Structure 1
Amino acid sequence: MSITIEDISWERVFLRITYRSDSLASLKLYRVRTETFVPFVEIQDGDRVVATMNVTQGGGRHPLDDGEWIICQELTPQESSLSWVRENAPYLITLSRKRLWGQLKPAQRRRLRENGITYLEYDFSDDEIEAGIRRRPYATHGITYAPSVMEHLDSYSHVFRYVNGKYAMAASFLPGRDATDYFYVRLAIDFFVKNKKPQTRRFSLRQLEKRAFSLYYAVARRLLKPRGNTVLFLKENGEEPTENMAAVRDRMLERGMEREYPIIERYRNTFGSRQKLGSWIKDINAIAKSRFIFIDDYCPAFNFIEPDDDTILTQVWHAGVGFKSVGYARFGIQGSPDPYQSAHRRYDYALVGNSELREIYSEVFGIEEAALLATGMPRLDHFLDEEKRVTAENRLLAEYPWMSEGRVIVFAPTFRGKGQATAYYPYDLFIDYEALWKMCEETNSYFVFEMHHFIKERPEIPEEYSSRLKDLSDESLSDLLHVADVLITDYSSCFYDCLLLKKPVVFYVPDKIEYSATRGVQRSVDEMAPGLVCESSAELVSALASGQYATVAPDTSMIDRCMEGSGLAADRVIDAVLLGKDVPGVRLPCDHS
């Protein structure tokens, strides 16, 4: 029962979905919370069907209930049986396992994960799995969406105001991916009351925690007080400094600044497990003692702490700019930051690679362009040094001798998921290990996985392919690029580094439309990618086998030319932020009109 949805539209309170089907299929909405279906009124003309629903009567004599309604097909009792599912729809078993896993106690799930057991390995009985399928007898895998629908999904949402605008019902179309990484769409129904002070929120435990931390910071600031010009390097999503942080810190030490500017360093991962109160207190104490604070990436402490006017908070974001939407560029998409209470709004300064990137990062961080310092990326200060290249190559070739025996292909995609806590990569859908191995054998190549550090699950390379396929995710990508002959990535900004080395890049984006709908992109891969774009595994393998990627020359306007070769980005940061100097080209020119 295959359905292709070709159009979504509204006519007053009527939602219309137009689709084509190769069989007698039927669309329905399913509300997970109450495990109920609501049908459409469908008119069929050949293989074309127009499905209509009055949203004010979706619940009989009242509107559709609030919550998320999945666009789906209803399974028959036979299609809900385990025997039928095993033969015709095994993905339903995976989905049932994921739901059953979610019903386990959090402490039990945590213990199982620590022992390397996930919902795929846990010993659920057949009866439990079948009961899970029968409890929620809906399917989305037979439903696909025309590219035009997916590209404009957010434009189909509708707000109905009533009672003189004091109330509103919002009908929003939300893209999603299930536990098998299949794309599906939900219709979210929400009811709102007009709020004269939108920055305020209802009382909650989280709000109470934020107020308590904010109060503690105010007290700690008075008691501890910064000792002169203390500098704090703080990271809350990893246990080591990022390359940008390390570059600024190391340059301070090289310039002998540590006496006049004492350095404090705190690096921990707040996303790995439940955090203890004492760890947060130590973070706040370090913040309270500091005059200058450098952070890299999202730092949750500043969601509830607003540094006082004597503190300068600088975001030293480690990347250039890729294609994926981050920060406020994702506003309105699941996982986007709060417009009033987000760490991004606290920055006094944020670093950008060059002046051309101010507009993009003003949107990302939700701050004015004047707060963006065009210093260049400190981590790239020595990236093009011959000494660094030789050191990186010698170390890698000594540890991995096979790198000198054939072409080295480095695969460095970004993660899927909302953020660090849910990051993953769909290997089963995107990676054909056998085809890659055959290509490597025929072309004397080595395919190196260098997965994003947020992705905990590494590629499970079959033993018979391990001679040519290698997982070096723990290695430095910067070092690997020095020995790479070609880089494969997707929506990440790591391609900038490769272009600086004048090496070719392939963009592997089999989920281009789905990713754009669920995560969001700031720039089109098709229009802006400085290299060959492949949308299927077969295309990728063919391009690597033929070397076709070498014929696609990148537009020089895409290369992040922010004085990387000058080796002075860290100095610009130090001079502009710590010493308050007006470094040429770093700050936005003042308007003297």
Structure 2
Amino acid sequence: MHMNKVIITDIYWHNIYLTLSLQGDAIKDCHFYVTDLKKVYPLEQPVDNKLTINMVNINETKLLDNGKWYFYYEKDHEKYYLSITAACGYKLEQLDKLYRYGQECYAYAINFQISDMAVLQKKAAQTPLVIHGDEEDLILCAFTTYMKRNDHPNRKDVRLESKSLKQGCRKVAFILTKAAIRGIFAVLSSCRKKDGKHVLFMSETRTPIGGNLKAIDDRMKERGLDKTFKISYSFSKTLQQSKFKTFFTWSRLLWLIAKQDYIFVDDYVPIFKTITLSSKTKLIQAWHAGVGFKSVGYSRFGKAGSPLPKDSCHRKYDYALVGSKGLIPVYEEVFGIDRSHFLATGLPRLDNYLDEERINAYKMKFYQDFPELKGRKIIMFAPTYRGNTQSDAYYPYDKIDMDGIAKLCEQDYAFIFKMHPFIQEKVDIPVAYATYVKDLSQYGDINDMFYITDILITDFSSNIYEFALHKKPIIFYAFDKDYYQLRRGVHRSLDDACGKVCTTFDEVLSTIRNKTFEMEKLAAFIEECFDTHEKLSSDIVIDSILLHEKGERC
């Protein structure tokens, strides 16, 4: 971080005037600008450390063009991005502006975002403009757009969405292919009479069957219902395929889906954006996670990568399973469907999860594999990934104090890394520490590994849901708490976490040594997330969905 940094501490509007309150030394010696990394416009000098901008009179009576605009200042012949405080960042969504004009047929929208320094550096590399910034900075971006009223919101405008003729042709090809798939499916679906006896378990994100789907499938077989129902399976990873390969995969799925009376899924399944199921076919979402912090689905509406208003498979669910009644508002926000579609069944994969025989059997196997860990208190480090997609997922290992971990393990602790499956880079563990510090990212299921875990260190991950049942300490290590929450988006703040929140690794180590885990927060979380049921959750799902609609009871 450079000395005498200038930072935005507050932002507010007065009609067309945007005011940025600044903090820093020698602001009077700085010159301020706004840029899209191609064009640069000078701004008026601040008065009393307040930079006021007439947003309709930039560069001689012009508004900012469509694009993302960044504020920066120049001092001593060097340029620096203007960043904002975290407190200021949390109020940005309240500052978005929409100016209507032209008999309300048009609008000028100004939306504020936090920009990623890594992305900015890539953009800046293509221009001669060199602007400095620190990796942890919350860099302010004003996203300006001229909007035109859309009288046909269900139609896609290929020209508007395409940046080149080639891209436009590809989009047209995709639209025509999807229309063909939709038409073929409509014919196949009309040819297949529903008899209420066909069940499909499917996923487009994971293989093989697991989690809630496997629990329901196993329970159906235990009850002999595989003799009553014809059970089919389809598990693939289409989200990792090219679009054209995905369409090929889908074409093979159409007849299988057309036959079904019940379809169980456990994640985002994009094929249901394209096809329309028969009204007699029930689509059931048994979401793979319990509850975490990351925004998904419609809780990200309006942000990059958010679903379209209508064109989302989340809108298609006839039923959505949740862990408790207290979680219905959370998933009502995520899926964008009415709460009448939710069933607070509990999660089938947690049936018999706390069975003592199951726990003891796992512990015996684990300590056979790792006898050197027996008798030690085991700490599991299991954060979510950083990055935007599966292909660029990573974790900044430099945020971990390996020497501090080793010193902790000189006592009676062992430290296990269980990194997110998207993260390909292995943990670099010095040989001298390898006895009690291990990377077990590829070893077994994390929920089973909780049986031998005494302390969980995580961040924004939903793995807290299952671990909470063990009523053991959870530490939330979020070195980038404000940055992550403002950039990625969360549906609940980490400040409401069910354990101790730390922003430095020294805090994490200190919390473990001093046992300041803030366990009192865990009880409220458990009460919100888990209901008590007399029956197994898988039985509740089977009885209320598969058998109730046929008028049968077990």
- TM bucket (normalised to shorter chain) is 0.7 to 0.9
Distance in 1 between residues matched to 2:75 and 2:40, nearest whole Å: 11
User: Where does 1:221-300 land on structure 2 (aligned, <5 Å)?
Assistant: 221-223=189-191, 229-275=197-243, 276=245, 277-300=247-270
Report the secondary structure of 2:46's partner residue: strand
Report the secondary structure of 2:40's partner residue: strand
Given the superposition, is the C-alpha separation of residues 168 and 507 from structure 1 closer, same or farther in structure 2, using an over 3 Å criterion?
same
User: Where does 1:314-333 land on structure 2 (aligned, <5 Å)?
Assistant: 314-333=284-303
The equivalent position to 1:554 in structure 2, one of 510, 521, 536, is: 521
User: Where does 1:64-213 land on structure 2 (aligned, <5 Å)?
Assistant: 64-73=64-73, 139-140=80-81, 143-179=82-118, 183-203=138-158, 204-205=171-172, 206-213=174-181
Q: CA deviation at 1:315?
A: 0.3
Given the superposition, is the C-alpha separation of residues 291 and 522 from structure 1 closer, same or farther in structure 2, using an over 3 Å criterion?
same
2:478 is the counterpart of 1:509: yes
Q: CA deviation at 1:422?
A: 4.6
Amino acid at match of 2:228: E
Distance in 2 between residues matched to 1:466 and 1:571, nearest whole Å: 44
Given the superposition, is the C-alpha separation of residues 446 and 173 from structure 1 closer, same or farther in structure 2, using an over 3 Å criterion?
same
Structure 2: give runs of 5+ residues left out of the alignment: 119-134, 159-170
Report the secondary structure of 1:43's partner residue: coil
Report the secondary structure of 1:353's partner residue: coil
Q: Which residue of 1 aligns with 2:409?
A: 440
Q: Which residue of 2 aligns with 1:51?
A: 51
User: Where does 1:322-471 land on structure 2 (aligned, <5 Å)?
Assistant: 322-428=292-398, 430-441=399-410, 443-471=411-439
Q: Which residue of 2 aligns with 1:12?
A: 15
Given the superposition, is the C-alpha separation of residues 457 and 567 from structure 1 closer, same or farther in structure 2, using an over 3 Å criterion?
farther
Distance in 2 between residues matched to 1:17 and 1:51, nearest whole Å: 5
Q: Which residue of 1 aligns with 2:166?
A: none
Distance in 1 between residues matched to 2:535 and 2:363, nearest whole Å: 20
| Contact persistence 2:270–2:313 (CA under 8 A) | yes
Q: CA deviation at 1:76?
A: 8.4
Given the superposition, is the C-alpha separation of residues 388 and 146 from structure 1 closer, same or farther in structure 2, using an over 3 Å criterion?
same
Given the superposition, is the C-alpha separation of residues 22 and 6 from structure 1 closer, same or farther in structure 2, using an over 3 Å criterion?
same
The equivalent position to 1:40 in structure 2, one of 19, 39, 43, is: 43
Distance in 1 between residues matched to 2:546 and 2:330, nearest whole Å: 25
Q: Which residue of 1 aligns with 2:187?
A: 219
Q: CA deviation at 1:225?
A: 5.5
| Contact persistence 1:488–1:507 (CA under 8 A) | yes
Q: CA deviation at 1:248?
A: 0.6
Distance in 2 between residues matched to 1:70 and 1:513, nearest whole Å: 20
Q: CA deviation at 1:145?
A: 2.0
Given the superposition, is the C-alpha separation of residues 11 and 228 from structure 1 closer, same or farther in structure 2, using an over 3 Å criterion?
closer
Distance in 2 between residues matched to 1:60 and 1:207, nearest whole Å: 42
Q: CA deviation at 1:160?
A: 1.2
| Contact persistence 2:109–2:144 (CA under 8 A) | yes
Report the secondary structure of 1:496's partner residue: helix
Q: Which residue of 2 aligns with 1:480?
A: 449
Amino acid at match of 1:486: I
User: Where does 1:304-323 land on structure 2 (aligned, <5 Å)?
Assistant: 304-323=274-293
Report the secondary structure of 1:299's partner residue: coil
| Contact persistence 2:83–2:140 (CA under 8 A) | no
Amino acid at match of 2:478: V
Amino acid at match of 1:273: Q
Q: Which residue of 1 aligns with 2:60?
A: 60
| Contact persistence 2:457–2:474 (CA under 8 A) | yes
Q: Which deviates more from structure 2 when the two are superposed, residues 564-573 or residues 12-21?
A: 564-573
Distance in 2 between residues matched to 1:162 and 1:523, nearest whole Å: 36
| Contact persistence 2:31–2:75 (CA under 8 A) | no
Distance in 2 between residues matched to 1:160 and 1:552, nearest whole Å: 49
Q: CA deviation at 1:311?
A: 0.6
2:465 is the counterpart of 1:523: no
| Contact persistence 1:490–1:509 (CA under 8 A) | yes
| Contact persistence 1:153–1:517 (CA under 8 A) | no
Given the superposition, is the C-alpha separation of residues 255 and 537 from structure 1 closer, same or farther in structure 2, using an over 3 Å criterion?
same
Provide TM-score, normalisation by structure 2. Answer: 0.86
Give the paired residue count: 513
Amino acid at match of 2:296: V
| Contact persistence 2:32–2:44 (CA under 8 A) | no
Report the secondary structure of 2:147's partner residue: strand
Report the secondary structure of 1:41's partner residue: coil
| Contact persistence 1:381–1:564 (CA under 8 A) | no
Q: Which residue of 2 aligns with 1:573?
A: 541
| Contact persistence 2:185–2:258 (CA under 8 A) | yes
Amino acid at match of 2:265: I
| Contact persistence 2:85–2:138 (CA under 8 A) | no
